[in-house]
Amino acid sequence: MHKIGRQTIRFPNPPSISNTASIVGPKEAEGPLKIYFDKVETDDTCGETSYEKAEECICYTAIQMLLQKEKLQATDIDYYLGGDLLNQIISTSFTAQKIAIPFFGLYNACATFSEGMQLAACLVSGQFAKNVIVSSSSHFSSAERQYRSPLESGVQRKMTAQWTVTGSGAVVISDQQKSPYITHITTGIVQDYGVKEADNMGTAMAPAAVETIIAHFNDTGFQPKDYDLIITGDLGTIGKEISMDLLSREGFDVSNIFTDCGVEIFNEEQDTHARGSGAGCSAVVFSGYIYKKLRNKELNRVLFVPAGALLSPTTTLQGDSIPCIAHAVTIENEPQLGRG
C-alpha cells in the first residue's frame, strides 16, 4: 500500500471484489434496478415478529447467498466487517453471532459499506487476510421508527425526505486475481455545514461527498474524464444536484458521468419524494447493479462514493446540526497502476 496525498491510498497489488450478493424488499423490486438484485423478499417482515428482526434476517440472508455463490464456508473467511443504522448496529451484530466469523462492527451511517470496503482492501492488500466479507443493511420501517416517527403515527413526510431502502448488500474482497479490483481508496473527513433537519439528508451529506471527491482528484491526479461513472451514495435528487453544482464551481464537470445510488434505485412514479437512502441503499446498488456492469465490461472504472449522516435521535432532539462523511473507492477492471 502506498499513501498518496493526505487522504488516499493506492494498492500496487489491488485486492479483488470476487463476488457480491444482494437482497431487497418489495418496493425496491418495483424500481428500475429490479433485474439486478439476487433476491426479492416479498414480505418486508421476512416472517419475523418485528422490523428489526426482519433487517437481521435480510443481513444474514445476503451473507449466506454470498458464501454459496463463492462456494465458501464461514471458516474460509478471515474477517467480517459490517454495520447498519440501528442502535448498537444490532442487525449486523446479531448476524455476526450466527455466522461465527471474526467480526469488526462498523458505523458510518450510509457510508458504512464504503468504510468496510476500504478497511477490507487494506487487510487483504497488507496480507493480513485472504477473504473478507463486507456488508451493510437497512430497513425502511426500522429506520423510520428510530430516526423519525413510527409508521403507526402517520406523520406526513416532507418532500425533502428520502425513502430508506429495505435491503442488504454483501461483497467478498479477496486476494484472487479476478476483476474488478480496488485500486485506490480516499477516506473522508467529517463535514458539518449546519443542516439540522433529519428529513433533509441530501442537503446535509452533499458537501461531504464533494470534499472527498475533490480530495481524491487532488491526491491521485485523476480527472472526471478518467472515470466511466462516479456514483455517490444516498444523496437523493436534492443532494445530487447540490453536489454537481459544488463540483462545477470547483472546476470539475461531472455532468455526463455522475449519478447517485438513491436516485437510481427508485423512479419518480414510486413517490419516494427525494428517492432512496439508508445503509443498504449503496450496498445493494453496488452489489447488484454496478458490480454486474463491471463484470460485463459495460463499465471499466468506477468511483464509488457513499456518504453518511452521523446523527442520532438524541442529537436531533437536542437541536444539533448533522456531521457527515463520505468515503471513495476506485474500482477497475484493468488497473492502471502508473496513475496516482
> For 76-133, what is each residue's pLDDT tens digit?
999 999 999 999 999 999 999 999 999 999 999 999 999 999 999 999 999 999 999 9
Q: What is the mean pLDDT of the chain?
A: 94
Of 84-93, 146-155, 315-324, which range is least confident? 146-155
Q: Rounded to whole angstroms, how far apart are CA atoms 112 and 85?
A: 9
- Asked if residues 136 and 82 have their Cβ atoms less than 8 Å apart, the reply is yes
CA-to-CA distance for 321 and 102, rounded, in angstroms?
35
Residue 330 has pLDDT above 80, yes or no: yes
* Consecutive H or E run containing 103: strand 103-105
Domain parsing of the chain, residue ranges: 1-335
Tens-place pLDDT, residues 175-201:
999 999 999 999 999 999 999 988 899
Contacts of residue 211, Cβ cutoff 8 Å, sequence gap at least 6: 188, 189, 191, 326
* Selection from 222, 216, 174 nearest residue 338 by Cα: 222
Q: Are 340 and 226 in contact (CB under 8 A)?
A: no
Residue 198: per-residue pLDDT = 84
Q: What does the pLDDT read at residue 74?
A: 97
Architecture of domain 1-335: 3-Layer(aba) Sandwich (3.40)
What share of the chain in percent tops pLDDT 70? 97
Lowest mean pLDDT across 27-31, 79-83, 161-165, 168-172 = 161-165
Using a pLDDT cut of 90, give the percent of the chain over it. Answer: 87
pLDDT confidence of residue 237: 97
Mean pLDDT lowest among 6-15, 41-50, 133-142, 151-160: 151-160
- Mean pLDDT for the stretch of residues 292-312: 97
Answer whether 167's CB lies under 8 Å from 207's CB. Answer: no
| Contact predicate 238/124, CB 8 Å | no
Reported as a pLDDT band with limits 50, 70 and 90, residue 227 is: very high
Label residue 1 by pLDDT band (50, 70, 90): confident
3-state secondary structure of 119: helix
User: Does pLDDT of 337 surpass 70?
Assistant: no
pLDDT of residue 338: 44
Residue 198 grid coordinates: 433529519
Q: At 174, is the pLDDT very low, low, confident or very high (cuts 50, 70, 90)?
A: very high
The predicted-structure confidence for 239-290, as pLDDT tens digits, reads as follows 999 999 999 999 999 999 999 999 999 998 998 989 999 999 999 999 999 9
Bridge partners of 308, per DSSP, are 325
Phi-psi group of 318: left, alpha or beta (phi > 0 → left; psi -120 to 50 → alpha; rest → beta): alpha
